Amino acid sequence: MTVYFYLRFAILKASIHTVNSEFCSAPMTTPSPEVTDQFNSSFDAATYVRQSAQLLNLAIPPEQMASVVENFERVHAIAQPVLDFPLPDNLESAPRFEP
């Protein structure tokens, strides 16, 4: 389980860095429907974990690989309703979060 959390943290950290640097240097663009449909419909957890681990130079022991992949499949299933929720193109983020 430790490998799973380390991998998620490292990916999140890399994503935040990428988003921040892209946000500061270029205008935000909306991906085409073909790209978003391909992203949402063809998630392969085993490939994702293997490529992410290789990118991060993280050795996942073979006996733990199946459980890491299983957890990423769960994360994807949990996140899918959020990813599928339609948002209008002109939606602006709130300047301050108020629950």
Tell me whether residue 96 is in a domain: no
Tens of pLDDT, residues 14-54: 555 444 444 445 555 555 665 555 555 578 999 999 999 99
DSSP 38-65: HHHH---HHHHHHHHHHHTT----HHHH
Q: What is the pLDDT of residue 12?
A: 58
Tell me whether residue 47 is in a domain: yes
**Which range of residues forms the domain containing residue 63?**
2-30+41-84
Tell me whether residue 56 is in a domain: yes
Question: Both tokens of residue 99?
Answer: 């629950």
Predicted TM-score (pTM) of the model is: 0.50
Domain count for the chain: 1
Tell me whether residue 94 is in a domain: no
In this predicted structure, the answer to whether residue 4 has a pLDDT above a threshold of 80 is: no
Angle at 6 between CA 1 and CA 62, to 5 degrees: 55
Q: What is the pLDDT of residue 99?
A: 78
